[in-house]
Structure 1
Amino acid sequence: MILQALTQYYEDLLARGEIAAPGWAPAKISYALCLDEDGQLTQVVPTMEEVPKGKKTVSQPLVFPLPAAEKRTVGIVSNFLWDNSSYLLGVDQKGKPARSRECFSTAAARHHAVLDGVDSPAARAILRFFDSWQPENAAQCPALEGKLEEVTSGGNLLFRVDGRYAQEDAAIREAWQRRQSDRDKDAVEMQCLVTGREDEIAKVHPAIKGVRDAQSSGAALVSFNAPAFCSYGHEQNFNAPVGKYAAFAYTAALNHLLADKDQVQQIGDTTVVCWAEGADPVCQSLAVAAIFGGEAPGGLTDNALRATLWHLAHGEPCDELAVDPNRTFYILGLAPNAARLSVRFFLRDSFGALMRNVNDHYERLEIVGGRYEMLPLWALLRETVNLNSRDKMPSPAMAGATARAVFSGGRYPASLLEGVMLRIRAERNITWGRAAILKAYYLKNPHEDCPKEVLTVSLNEESTNPAYTLGRLFRVMEEIQLASTGWNVNRSIKDSYFNSAASTPLSVFGKLFALSNYHLKKLMRDKPGLGKKLGDLESELAAKLTSPPPARSTQEEVVCFYLGYYHQCNHKKEEEKNV
């Protein structure tokens, strides 16, 4: 299903003219080797562009559509018309001159195999260059004077003959396409499991680049590298027969997605890409903005984006953007695994159904005190992380399970709740994001000890839930203490008793009432109006407790305590905001 969807996406992009044809792929090029008709190197021209990066401007290689790169690990295999200096000049900075010469000889043989007999001045110039160039004399070449170290530093090079790039020559392009269509006499032909057509089966698939923490040279999505993975005597990718066309198409589509850094997102260790059937860019941009907090298409504000999401979720027309809610949409999460890639999750659904699940998720998260209109997925997962630690990455398994729950509308993983509870206990701090997660978790994963009356957007003054009331009461006692000391105290009751008040309230609240009476008397002397208001509220809440607090609270009761405390903290702010 994944390979079929990516192959179809490649064909959609090809129909829109947004991706290279089979046998071609984008490549980053740092320098052009300029040749004359006799194949002599006359000049080396940088092919770089200045781009802003943060507050600085940096130079980066230009991207050219070139013959597709060959997959190589430790072997010597040359690309056609472009490669690094080891292959095109026979010189590099790796300190292995014999291997560099072998790379150059391999490149020369490759170009002769494709270009011999091609009636083109550019083709003849390239072949003459390979026949006449002497790698050992590279330092004496006038065209490389003062540039040899830069040219051989690892960047890719290509050929330019008489001011025109070699890949633009019609005869050379035809020769390359003819070479691509030639079938190896020893090739295995079978039915491709992606297209269903008879095709030459790809023994190895092109590399996929751009997945964070995977090998920089590229990793494989389909790979068999040990006998334990093989069956029926098949070797390598003959165990999963994918034709050469489909292998090229799905890897080209995936590399195209991963190359767009504005669309690629990270969830823990997982690199996430998404796309729509028909290669609709609006659906893709809207999904990224709605889920991950990227830039919304059409310059939509946060409020307009939230409204658009609501309309799509309810099957209503969207005036802001021309989006088809019935269009099929895909989300793919890839994680690094040595030289291969692991599929963390893969979702296929209509765009409207996905937006409905995302909208429901945001409605469950809605709670007083929010700084933003929506809590993007990266910010939600960050609430489970100690921001003072060296490793600020959330648990990969938890992040992947949470993403699947959001996308599919399923239950949130217990690990998400555990991560948030751990941070609250460690920091004694209930942030907006953490309170939103607690509320959303029990709305989606209901439990009788955490009723809906406490899972409200703002303070529920009518609630009689004991744990919720204790949370509110604790906050009022804290306010009394802080007000009586002029809001300047070295250690508040929150610092000393917050965790024990939530988990073992029976052993703590007796002490808290005694402390509160002491602080209230002082407050009544200094600020009688505020003291009476807080004292009356404390008495009102205490009267709701018709039975002694439990000796030990369940996890759900602790969550009720946290929400009561959080709602009470933000109730005054909300009142002032409404006024």
Structure 2
Amino acid sequence: MLRALYDYAKRMDLVLPAGYAEKTIKAFLCLTGDGRFVGVRIDGVTPFRCPDIGSLANGTDKSNLLVEKVSVVFPAEPSPKSRFFREGLKDLGTQEPLAEICCKALDDPQCCADMAAALEQHKIKSSDRISFMVDNIYLVECPAVEAWWETYRHQFQKPGQAKDASLCLITGQTTIPMATVPPNAGLAVVGGHPRGDALICFDKPAFCSYGLKKSANAPVSEEAFAQVKVALDTLLKDAPPLAGIKFVHWYDKPLPKQLPDPLPPIFGSLLSDEEDEEESGPEEEYDRAVMVQARRDADSLVRSVESGQAVADLPNRYYILLLSGANGRVLVRQFTQGSYEELKANLDRWYADLRLVNASGTGDLKPVKLAARLIRLLKRQNSDKKVFDRLQKELPGLTTPVFYAIIHGTGLPDSVAVRALQRIRSQMRTEDPDRNGQLVPDPISCQWLKVWLIRTHKEANLMSEYNPNHPNPVYHIGAMVAVYAELQRRAYPNVNVTVVQRFFASAQQTPALVLGRLAKMSTHHLAKLENKAAADAYASRLADISACIGDQIPTVLALPEQSLFALGYYQMSAALNSERRARLTKKATNEKDHEEE
């Protein structure tokens, strides 16, 4: 994983020198060449390459230099951090005249008060980053900064000993490993710390092994990890969050230049449909352009799972990384790599396993986003305004194996079926019938059950529609209960409590105790029907289903049988709805023809 990120940074030309980080700066204090303060320039969007001392800034006595929070540059009372900031700026002033101008402005009480007042007037918060501009030149971009910082920062690094040298996990070269690594930003929305999270951390004895101490457990050189950090920070910016996890993904190499279709010169955001207005020459930017396009294609791969839409074939290799934050550490929930051919085949299988007729029986269900599917695994609530917060809190442990099953074509955890069945039972017990007097299980929950049965229990006889030849009698028991419900609806359209609301849950778990009672009630419902042809049709269908069930009705159903019962009920309901719509259409056509005559 580290090597893949390292290679990605090099290919995409994202490499930052060791001791640097990309940061956005909310405001710049603008000074003239003679040290006069002339105003504030607001930014907060453009990333700048800034000196960074990493985790040392988390203490009480050191801060980052040249770019820091308002509370550090203009403290209410002098502090070790503010003194550290000014001392560093003064040291840079010995080599860079523009830094010396900034130092003098901070030492001037009136100028300092004017700058603080201007920041407050522009509503710049104490936690916002600020820096300086002199004669329209950004201080962080002065030529002398890089040479100064390369020398100045070494005073904060502990000298390594030759005996501590080891092979870098990333490059394989001998190095003095970093004692601590700088944190990665971008995981705050999925449990991470606002200041960032460490990808490599061995501050607890439980994380160490073989008698090694701290960084010796995973030795990496400062230069190599700087590339890993910038690659991961860049990828995290656009990574979509879902259920407490960020989905990071990228492409391994540019497409061949001999491809017949030319690449577009404009590439938009890697994770949105908006197009970037900035154009670049196709010849000069080819390699970078194809990598950006590859990221868009890799994104469409993951987005296809989220949106439910299939994707076209793509060559080469993909990497997918599922991340979240935990107590200041990066939690790697899953790292997957492989050829697209295998991945595409598994995605095609996922879409095939999901195929299920809609509740009206007019065709297959339309694709839905993965978030909508995961919501069906939460406990059902009548009013749930914070459903996405619940996703993040309740499903991170389940989202990872679900995503693994999708991209690897493996079985789903049993908890998927348990949660889907709980939601269906709650719905059938508490939800009111629709305007047609029907109560049909949630289709997306039934899709979860179908995929779980096909993959985990090798159920080969499930189709998108009702299968009258299914060998398991439990499947047909569910279908029979659906016919009983439809029969009651035809006989008593305004009944207060339906047989579904009263008996669905018990029939799904202990059918032998319920089915006889439902059969007895159905005789009264058949007698109530005034349409003799309709009564005969229902009686004939019940007889056909009874033949499929056989003589033995199970007493207690396990989880797989309960799932089959729910699917049998749902698919038979869809079949009955389709027939009802056909009858209504035929009736309307006949009436129209009669009027024309």
What pairs with 1:499-538 in structure 2 (closer than 5 Å)? 499-523=505-529, 525=530, 527-538=531-542
Deviation at 1:436, TM superposition (A): 1.5
What pairs with 1:86-485 in structure 2 (closer than 5 Å)? 86-91=71-76, 97-99=77-79, 102-113=80-91, 115-118=92-95, 120-130=96-106, 132-134=107-109, 140-141=113-114, 144-145=117-118, 147=120, 150-176=123-149, 186-188=159-161, 189-211=165-187, 212-230=190-208, 235-260=213-238, 263-266=239-242, 268-278=243-253, 280-293=291-304, 306=310, 308-309=311-312, 312=313, 323-324=314-315, 327-369=316-358, 373-388=366-381, 392-393=390-391, 394-428=394-428, 430-446=441-457, 451-453=459-461, 455-485=462-492
Matched, 1:553 2:553: no
Deviation at 1:281, TM superposition (A): 3.6
Asked if structure 2 preserves the Cα contact closer than 8 Å seen for 1:200 and 1:243, the reply is: yes
Deviation at 1:122, TM superposition (A): 2.1
Report the RMSD for the aligned CA atoms in angstroms. Answer: 3.1
The alignment's TM-score, normalised by the length of structure 1, stands at 0.81
Matched, 1:44 2:40: yes
Deviation at 1:499, TM superposition (A): 1.3
User: Identity percentage over the alignment?
Assistant: 24
Provide Cα deviations, 1:317-339, integer angstroms capped at 9, x if missing partner.
Answer: xxxxxx32xx2211111232212
Provide Cα deviations, 1:82-136, integer angstroms capped at 9, x if missing partner.
Answer: 1111332334xxxxx243xx222101222334x2542x44233234335x244xx
Change (3 A) 1:467 1:283: farther
Tell me what 2:285 maps to.
Answer: none
Asked if structure 2 preserves the Cα contact closer than 8 Å seen for 1:506 and 1:550, the reply is: yes
Change (3 A) 1:67 1:355: farther
SS class of match (2:11):
helix
- The amino acid across from 2:549 in the alignment is L
Deviation at 1:148, TM superposition (A): 5.7
Moved more, 417-426 or 63-72: 63-72
Matched, 1:75 2:81: no
Asked if structure 1 preserves the Cα contact closer than 8 Å seen for 2:355 and 2:364, the reply is: no
- The amino acid across from 1:351 in the alignment is Y
Question: In the aligned structure 2, how far is the partner of 1:557 from the partner of 1:416?
Answer: 15
Moved more, 138-147 or 352-361: 138-147
Change (3 A) 1:150 1:69: farther
Question: In the aligned structure 2, how far is the partner of 1:88 from the partner of 1:562?
Answer: 64
Change (3 A) 1:385 1:5: same
Question: In the aligned structure 2, how far is the partner of 1:77 from the partner of 1:396?
Answer: 36
Provide Cα deviations, 1:324-382, integer angstroms capped at 9, x if missing partner.
Answer: 2xx22111112322121222111111222222222212211111117764344333322
SS class of match (2:123):
helix
- The amino acid across from 2:90 in the alignment is H
Moved more, 231-240 or 176-185: 176-185
- The amino acid across from 1:141 in the alignment is D
Unaligned runs of 5+ in 2: 255-290, 429-439, 586-597
Deviation at 1:478, TM superposition (A): 0.4
SS class of match (1:380):
helix
Deviation at 1:290, TM superposition (A): 4.1
Tell me what 2:3 maps to.
Answer: 4
Change (3 A) 1:31 1:473: same
Change (3 A) 1:124 1:501: same
What pairs with 1:24-35 in structure 2 (closer than 5 Å)? 24-35=20-31
Question: In the aligned structure 2, how far is the partner of 1:62 from the partner of 1:465?
Answer: 63
The alignment's TM-score, normalised by the length of structure 2, stands at 0.79
Unaligned runs of 5+ in 1: 49-60, 92-96, 297-301, 313-322
Deviation at 1:464, TM superposition (A): 4.9
Tell me what 2:435 maps to.
Answer: none
- The amino acid across from 1:417 in the alignment is A
SS class of match (1:384):
coil
